[in-house]
Chain A
Amino acid sequence: MNVVNKSYSESRLARSPDHSLVPPCQSACPLHMEISEYIDLVAQGKIMEALQVIRTGNPFPSICAYVCTHPCEDACRRSQVDKPIAIRALKRFAVEFGGDRMIEAEAETKHEEKVAIVGSGPAGLACAYYLRKLGYQVTIFEAHPELGGMLRVGIPQYRLPREVVDTEIKRLTRMGVEIRTNTRVVSLDLLFELGYKAIFITIGAHQSLRMGIEGEESPGVIDGATFLREVNLGLKPSLGERVAVVGGGNVAMDAARAAVRLGSSKVSVLYRRSRAEMPASTDEIEQALEEGVETMFLVAPTKMKRGNGHLSVTCVRMELGEPDTGGRRRPVPIEDSEFNMEFDTLIIAIGQAPQISDDFRLRLGKGSTIQVDPITLTTNRAGVFAGGDAVTGPATVTEALASGRQAAFRIDDYLQHTYPLVNKEAEKTLSGELLPKTIEMIRKIERVEPPSLALEARAKDFDTVELVYGWEEAINAARRCLRCGMGAEILFQDKCATCLTCLRVCPYHVPYLDDGGTIQIPPDQCQACGICVAECPAKAIVLRKPYDRRHVDEELEHALKSAAESKSKPLIVGFCCQYGLFGTGALASLWREGKAGIWIVPVLCVAKLEEGHVLRAFEMGAEGVFIGGCGEQCSRENTAFWVLQRVEKVRKVLFQIGLEPERLQTFNLRTTEGDTTKTLDDFTEQIGGLCLASVMKQEVKS
């Protein structure tokens, strides 16, 4: 019997790695989604698992996959190296290919209390989803004939197809959420009288702000929110040839792009600041420009007049002055710079505010928004909670979802008479600049955008502009992740002999010796390649992510167990890069256990493979072992060098114990020349020959 007694210190100092480091993408996400986790699963080709991770943090991933403004990408530290990871596009890939449509959310009623949700925008829907999951009876009241709020009447169809919203709403209905459309709530007291114990107000910000200038009431002048509502409800407002949109936010961009689709030949956006101050998301601005929308910066209309069948607009030129309280530079009109322009239609999209009925008796704050406690989302009235745009003013869908989710849990606290635990876990956001010497060593990999609809096709109708990645593109895009906060950690500081091996082997120059003579692996710099973990002579280092540590052992034991039941000979074990394998579809061609007895052990980068794993395969009866790396496709440095070092070490031992060193080989699974299958067939044949020779040798001996 073999007893493996681990080490002198493990029992005394058993502790788990530090998981409190939150990657910057995750802390930037309003929903706090485990982004690096699902990106890694996509990189491994595990789309269903990736979708599972996405769904735990996001009630409507399919909606976010289309319209999220991805603050995560703005926070992504890969932008210090080249460009951020295409997180939203990867989520879209996982949602489409992982079969999100098929997933059923289940819920059962566990509580008697009924909750009313007023408004069915993203915040209302998210709140309904989570309250229903928590077991409450939920009713959504919606003034419009259809659910969705801004998702339906605010966001144009080319950005968010209506089927996506419909799918999510159907799922909610099947979960047992009661829906009352065409029902405008006029009194909250009435809802309480109807037996609802808590109310969530999420009625959005649909009221367009006015410019307050002469001629604003002229025919041909329309506000952005009304225009988009009409377009989104399927009406086709007639705009004429020349259209101007006033404003620089996402609504202005949506209005301009919708105007292009309605057939206007000249669409101009008038913005009183410059491009740098535009609040609209960069993607939207770029797509609008691609579609032929013109932009006029530092221009503001001062008055307008209807005459001769068109609109005469007087504008003034602006210059940027001192920064205002929000930090953006204030536009100041330039004297005597007035000029006239002519348009057929002018769309005003300079902002929106909520419109809260006085009968609700809610305390309002700045910009007619509802005042709430930021943690509990409670208003001045007991049992009344509020969230979404009605509280924040116009914001993003993801922020609304986060607000709805927060409301659901706080309403649960309220109904169960518990108090919310604020900041129960001290999380540290991993941030900080990557050091230049580390950046230099990180392999530059181009960010590939998902394909988008051809320009000619866009102007004609409201089809979705952004398309989905293919498998290989998605996997390569996901492999660019730097795995912030998942890196190596010296877990057993007392075992560390300060031999400096980690410092010497790290391709990214991350470990350093501090002034006290202790080796440090700064978590904000580590790239999680795993080389130091495998090379540490004291076995003191681990990777922070538990799965990375267990993975090879588990997969190997699993493969060996299955192999033991198989009769096909010779038994060959192949440790293959999981990223490369799935990315190239090579797995299917290698997995031919019926024919040759080849068993694949997927590893998350062959640099994590240790000598002990290879020897274990031989111990369990493997006649040959090969290590298949992904070659040039690898996103890490020095992988091949360290794999070959370890291979040589094992070969030496094999020779000493009377096994031919050729029984261990390395292959590049993604060679452009040569056929992997053929190479493997040759290897199988060679191993077959070696087995035969050793049998004959045995017989001669006896």
Chain B
Amino acid sequence: MIVAEQKPVEEIRQVIAPYERILLLGCGTCMTVCGAGGEHEVSFLHSALRVAQARGSDGTHSFLECTVKRQCDFEFLDMLVDKVNETDAILSLGCGIGVQVIAERFPDIPVLPGVNTSFMGMTKESGVWDERCAACGDCRLAETAGICPITRCTKGILNGPCAGTKNGKCEANKDMDCAWILIYKHLERLQQLEKMRRYYPPRNFRVIPRPRRIVNKADVDLGEDNG
């Protein structure tokens, strides 16, 4: 899941300042699960903006609330056409992907981000989310007992642990587990400690051209007659 955090209300107020009619658009998938931009948060932000408006003297906005199942697909956005025609800007509480898909779908309307998209992660407990994947495009988790050193080690080193590990914790943060100690313990449990002896050459980040694209369909030539 993509994890994000809602922007402070003051920042949101600044970006919406030039516009009068604003569509507050939530996302019903990742942003709902990570509590940054589901229907509940859209409603909360709406209430907060209205209090700010009632209490301050800066401008008068009118707000429209809506939440779609996913902002990252055009089809879910199609149903917004009527609403969008009546707004001056869309404040998206979707992740960075959602914001861009909206911008592409509705090129005549400014789209403003309402959340800071942070990472890909998991729910640790109610109200706590942890990063787990860096989307490096070259997964090595089979060698590291299912624990990613790139995201979970502060330094992201491939041949750990470093000298900064102490009592299983990281020198950068005493409360944070050292990823390489975790990897060691897991490998020990799986009786695969020999994997610790291997050397992993540095990764070549230059081989990943951005933006990436995955094409999972065959190029089929049906000939001119069948076109």
Instruction: From A3, A504, A537, A539, name the one whose CB has the most chain B CB atoms within 10 angstroms.
Output: A537
Q: Say yes or no: A497-B47 contact (C-beta < 8 A), given A5-B65, A7-B39.
A: no
B64 an interface residue at 8 Å Cβ cutoff? Answer: yes
Q: How far is the CB of B47 from chain A (nearest CB, A)?
A: 4
Q: How many A-B residue pairs have CB under 8 A?
A: 110
A621 an interface residue at 8 Å Cβ cutoff? Answer: yes
Q: Say yes or no: A612-B63 contact (C-beta < 8 A), given A495-B28, A656-B9.
A: no
With A and B bound together, what is the CA distance between A656 and B48 in angstroms?
Answer: 10
Chain A 599-629 interface residues, beta-carbon cutoff 8 Å to B: 611-612, 615-616, 618-621
Once the chains bind, are B8 and A538 in contact (CB under 8 Å)?
no
Q: Name which of B50-58, B138-146, B151-159 contacts chain A.
A: B50-58
Once the chains bind, are B44 and A611 in contact (CB under 8 Å)?
yes
Once the chains bind, are B48 and A653 in contact (CB under 8 Å)?
yes
With A and B bound together, what is the CA distance between A40 and B28 in angstroms?
Answer: 35
Q: Which residue of A lies closest to B57 (CB)?
A: A698
Q: Say yes or no: A2-B56 contact (C-beta < 8 A), given A497-B33, A497-B38, A615-B51.
A: no
B195 an interface residue at 8 Å Cβ cutoff? Answer: no
User: What residues of chain A lie closer than 8 Å to B41, measured between beta carbons?
Assistant: 537
With A and B bound together, what is the CA distance between A645 and B127 in angstroms?
Answer: 10
Q: Say yes or no: A615-B48 contact (C-beta < 8 A), given A497-B38, A504-B126, A538-B28.
A: yes
Q: Name which of B66-74, B162-170, B171-179, B186-194 contacts chain A.
A: B66-74
With A and B bound together, what is the CA distance between A569 and B92 in angstroms?
Answer: 39
- Which one, A497, A616, A656, A659, contacts B32 given CB within 8 A? A497
Once the chains bind, are B43 and A612 in contact (CB under 8 Å)?
yes
Interface size class of B (residues with CB under 8 A): 35 or more
Q: How far is the CB of B180 from chain A (nearest CB, A)?
A: 30
- Which one, A7, A495, A500, contacts B66 given CB within 8 A? A7
User: What residues of chain B lie closer than 8 Å to A504, measured between beta carbons?
Assistant: 123, 125-126
Chain A 493-544 interface residues, beta-carbon cutoff 8 Å to B: 494-495, 497-501, 504-505, 535-539
B185 an interface residue at 8 Å Cβ cutoff? Answer: no
User: What residues of chain B lie closer than 8 Å to A621, measured between beta carbons?
Assistant: 54
Once the chains bind, are A612 and B38 in contact (CB under 8 Å)?
no
Q: How far is the CB of A556 from chain B (nearest CB, A)?
A: 12
Once the chains bind, are B48 and A616 in contact (CB under 8 Å)?
no
With A and B bound together, what is the CA distance between A1 and B64 in angstroms?
Answer: 10
Q: How far is the CB of B82 from chain A (nearest CB, A)?
A: 10
Once the chains bind, are A653 and B38 in contact (CB under 8 Å)?
no
User: What residues of chain B lie closer than 8 Å to A498, measured between beta carbons?
Assistant: 33
User: What residues of chain A lie closer than 8 Å to B67, measured between beta carbons?
Assistant: 7-8, 495, 538
User: What residues of chain A lie closer than 8 Å to B9, measured between beta carbons?
Assistant: 653, 656-657
With A and B bound together, what is the CA distance between A6 and B47 in angstroms?
Answer: 13
Q: Which residue of B lies closest to A611 (CB)?
A: B44
With A and B bound together, what is the CA distance between A3 and B22 in angstroms?
Answer: 10
B222 an interface residue at 8 Å Cβ cutoff? Answer: no
Once the chains bind, are A612 and B62 in contact (CB under 8 Å)?
no
Q: Which residue of A lies closest to B61 (CB)?
A: A2
B10 an interface residue at 8 Å Cβ cutoff? Answer: yes
Q: Mark B83-117, 1 if CB is under 8 A from A, else 0.
A: 10000000000000000000000000000000000
- Which one, A505, A649, A654, contacts B126 given CB within 8 A? A505
User: What residues of chain A lie closer than 8 Å to B64, measured between beta carbons?
Assistant: 3-5
With A and B bound together, what is the CA distance between A649 and B44 in angstroms?
Answer: 10
With A and B bound together, what is the CA distance between A536 and B66 in angstroms?
Answer: 16
User: What residues of chain A lie closer than 8 Å to B35, measured between beta carbons?
Assistant: 499, 501, 537
Once the chains bind, are A612 and B32 in contact (CB under 8 Å)?
no
Once the chains bind, are A612 and B33 in contact (CB under 8 Å)?
no
Chain A 649-671 interface residues, beta-carbon cutoff 8 Å to B: 649, 653-654, 656-659
Q: Mark A20-42, 1 if CB is under 8 A from B, else 0.
A: 00000000000000000000000
Q: How far is the CB of A618 from chain B (nearest CB, A)?
A: 5
Q: Mark A120-141, 1 if CB is under 8 A from B, else 0.
A: 0000000000000000000000
Q: How far is the CB of B66 from chain A (nearest CB, A)?
A: 6
- A-B residue pairs in contact (CB < 8 Å), sample of 29: A2-B50, A4-B46, A4-B63, A6-B65, A494-B69, A497-B29, A498-B33, A499-B32, A499-B33, A499-B35, A499-B38, A504-B123, A536-B40, A537-B40, A537-B41, A538-B28, A539-B39, A539-B43, A611-B47, A615-B48, A615-B51, A619-B51, A621-B54, A649-B44, A653-B9, A656-B48, A657-B13, A657-B55, A659-B51
Q: Which 4 A-B pairs have the closest CB atoms?
A: A537-B38, A615-B47, A499-B33, A504-B126
User: What 12 additional pairs, Cβ within 8 angstroms, besides A538-B67, A658-B56?
Assistant: A3-B64, A4-B63, A8-B28, A8-B67, A497-B29, A498-B33, A504-B126, A619-B51, A653-B51, A654-B51, A656-B8, A657-B55
